[in-house]
Structure 1
Amino acid sequence: MKKQWLALCTSLGLLLTACSGSPASPGQASPPPAQTEKTEIMVSAAASLTDALGELKPAFEADNPGITVTFTFGSSGKLAQQIGQGAPSDVFLSASAKDMDGLAEKQLIAPDTRQDFAKNELVLIANASSSIQLDSFEKLADPSLAHIAVGEPTAVPAGRYAKEVMDALKLGDALKDRLVYGSDVRQVLTYVESGNADVGIVYASDAAIAKDVKILATSKPEWHKPIVYPGAVVAASTHADAAKAFLSYLTTDKGKATLEKYGFKQ
């Protein structure tokens, strides 16, 4: 009877060992670790940030291996409108305070997360091969300029700033029939690069990354409102912690250096 009991215990022990698995022997591959599920955040960003954020994305994801970032670029006004209509977004990066203010008034951003992360300048550009020699915004009334590209003022912050400059210089009436409107600042840049506009008004950061344009003049700060880029976590975000991590990354040394590389100011 004793022998039968020992045999039964031995068999049971072997069975439990087989079920639980045994440590890998030397030279035997260990089982792969369980895959960690990543959190994807959606970032709605002003078109002028396209190149800078494109470079920051892999750096951020390397430093935050549990988070992936997907961008939607466009005019700040259109992006704010989409967020207001319920489009999925975790972070809003605007090229103007006005569009962020509009979402704040509707309680569509988390107010304690709002921060200014960059500044910019407004510049007058022409195609790199153009013979145009203007050296000031004050000379935009020159009759030789048939087409002047600017952003649509109702939706594009760069277009609003351009309108403020023209109003400050009392050039609105003289230029109204020569203005060509872009849906965002990058389209304005394209009009000038392609020769479909004689000159254009864009951000200094856009001119910095364009190979086929030259800067003719820089606007004086007193001609327009300060060009400040605010960012905030969208109130409806379901990944608020990851969204905050991305927003904070923009103001780290690495984030600042990348933004400055693409022509933004601090």
Structure 2
Amino acid sequence: MNKTQITSFLGWVFLSLLITVGCSQITPNPSTTSPSAASTASLTVSAAASLKDAMEQIKPLYNQENPEVELTYNLGSSGALQRQIEQGAPADIFVSAATKQMDALEKQGLLLEGTRQDLLKNQLVLIVPQNSTGVKDFQDLVKPSVKKIALGEPKSVPAGQYAQEVLTSLNVLAQVKPKAVYAKDVRQALNYVESGNTDAGIVYLSDAKISPQVKVVATADETTHKPITYPVAVLKSSNNIDAAKEFVQFLSSDQAKAVFEKQGFTVIVN
């Protein structure tokens, strides 16, 4: 093979390599492409703060059956979450601690029709630090020895609204109000009692059950406040409606029910 032939042969080999590399870049090898990449869904669940522990326990149970769905929780007071949704914050599902906030979103046409349902019920309880002995019931909140009482902010925190209804029903609201330390959500009210910064607090039973630092001394009679109902719905603005519907269905599954009941909620059977 002379010099000209060798040069021509090497040129042909180089051109063949360029074509091969180019084709491999244009047409990906199916075996190296992640099969789940196209099917991955991301869901943002805006949920009442009182659901924090239950939702965190439900997440791995759901992902065992739906590994392709990435769950993100946005927890806070129901009133604050309602305002976020109204202002266009991204969310796929809303779980409120009261019907008031869900009603408001429904009236504005922000819920996906046919997806709203009542999910849970809860109870309102009076709590004190574990070593406290001075408070036995709601009437004791008027005692001079009780200086500070943790309550949710009634305008945005359903637990605070329910507490206000109870205190009004018992004719002690006027005496308790000056002692109130208002919290941004029910978990903050719980924290105030846990830390000893308040002498007592009114929270949900589900919140009281998670803390060994507080004890329940009284449970509010259900006739003294509106029913504590947690509705759930898919939001019309969701970019993953099918996945959102499936997650809402999972919240009524036997696995989720077991978690909710352990946390102190009552599951509503639809």
Structure 1 stretch displaced more, 153-162 or 141-150? 141-150
Distance in 2, matches of 1:143 and 1:32, equals: 72
Aligned to 1:52: 54
C-alpha deviation, 1:34, in angstroms: 2.7
Closer, same or farther in 2 for the Cα pair 1:103/1:129, shift >3 Å?
A: same
Aligned to 1:123: 125
Please give the residue correspondences for 1:27-66 in structure 2 after superposition, counting only pairs within 5 Å: 31-32=31-32, 34-37=34-37, 38-66=40-68
Aligned length: 240
| Percent of pairs with identical residues | 47
Please give the residue correspondences for 1:124-163 in structure 2 after superposition, counting only pairs within 5 Å: 124-132=126-134, 134-163=135-164
Distance in 2, matches of 1:111 and 1:205, equals: 30
Cα displacement string for residues 82-122 of structure 1 (whole angstroms, at most 9, x for unaligned residues): 00000000000000000100100111111310011111000
3-state SS of 2:230 partner:
strand
Aligned to 1:225: 226
Cα displacement string for residues 183-218 of structure 1 (whole angstroms, at most 9, x for unaligned residues): 000000000000100000000000000110000100
Counterpart of 2:35 in structure 1: which amino acid?
Q
Cα displacement string for residues 25-71 of structure 1 (whole angstroms, at most 9, x for unaligned residues): xxxxx945633121000000000000000010011011112211100
Computed over aligned residues only, the root mean square deviation of the Cα atoms, in angstroms, reads 1.8
C-alpha deviation, 1:72, in angstroms: 0.4
Distance in 2, matches of 1:105 and 1:248, equals: 23
Distance in 1, matches of 2:113 and 2:184, equals: 28
Distance in 2, matches of 1:222 and 1:57, equals: 34
Aligned to 1:92: 94
TM-score by length of 1: 0.87
Please give the residue correspondences for 1:237-256 in structure 2 after superposition, counting only pairs within 5 Å: 237-256=238-257
Please give the residue correspondences for 1:160-199 in structure 2 after superposition, counting only pairs within 5 Å: 160-199=161-200
3-state SS of 2:215 partner:
strand
C-alpha deviation, 1:241, in angstroms: 0.6
Counterpart of 2:155 in structure 1: which amino acid?
T
> Is residue 110 from structure 1 mapped to residue 112 from structure 2 by the alignment?
yes
Counterpart of 1:126 in structure 2: which amino acid?
V
Residue among 70, 83, 88 paired with 1:81: 83
C-alpha deviation, 1:129, in angstroms: 1.8
Counterpart of 1:39 in structure 2: which amino acid?
A
3-state SS of 1:209 partner:
coil
Distance in 2, matches of 1:234 and 1:56, equals: 20
Distance in 1, matches of 2:88 and 2:193, equals: 34
Distance in 2, matches of 1:122 and 1:48, equals: 12
Structure 1 stretch displaced more, 166-175 or 44-53? 166-175
3-state SS of 1:112 partner:
coil
Stretches of structure 2 lacking an aligned partner (at least 5 in a row): 1-19, 25-29
Stretches of structure 1 lacking an aligned partner (at least 5 in a row): 1-17, 22-29
3-state SS of 1:111 partner:
coil
3-state SS of 1:72 partner:
strand
Counterpart of 1:140 in structure 2: which amino acid?
L
Distance in 1, matches of 2:136 and 2:260, equals: 27
